[in-house]
């Protein structure tokens, strides 16, 4: 099987076509994702996280994005802060 065919046959999980929307359900957050197979949408599925899991995901994504420069329209938590005599940190 060619590499191109293998990539097309994979299952993928993407943000939903309506964009990244999160809703709160009690003490949980639900993020709607789209399941895609062979390049075609198959279903929408919620990713349900507790508040603790949401915080861990947020921290992990911020850490992973840390070395990348933040876009001008990035959320406040991605904007860097320079401390006098210290290294750049994110809040």
Per-residue pLDDT of the chain (91 residues; tens, 9 = 90+): 455 555 555 899 998 887 777 888 789 988 899 999 998 999 999 899 999 998 898 888 888 887 788 888 877 777 766 666 665 555 5
- State the DSSP H helix or E strand holding residue 54, giving kind and residue range, or none if neither: helix 51-65
Strand extents, DSSP E, the chain: 11-15, 22-25, 28-37, 40-50, 80-82, 88-90
- Work out the burial of residue 70: count CB atoms within 10 Å of its CB; fewer than 13 is exposed, 13-18 middle, 19 or more buried: middle
pLDDT value for 9: 59
Total structural domains within the chain: 1
Range of the domain at 83: 3-90
At residue 81, the pLDDT reads: 66
pLDDT of residue 5: 56
Within a 10 A sphere around the Cβ of 18, how many other Cβ atoms? 9
């Amino acid at each position: 099987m060619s590499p191109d065919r293998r990539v097309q046959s994979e299952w993928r999980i993407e943000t939903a076509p309506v964009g990244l929307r999160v809703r709160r359900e009690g003490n949980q957050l639900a993020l709607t994702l789209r399941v895609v197979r062979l390049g075609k949408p198959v279903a929408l599925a919620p990713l349900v996280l507790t508040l603790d899991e949401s915080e861990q995901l947020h921290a992990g994504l911020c850490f992973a994005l840390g070395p990348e420069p933040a876009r001008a329209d990035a959320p406040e938590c991605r904007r860097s802060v320079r401390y006098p005599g210290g290294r750049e940190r994110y809040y």
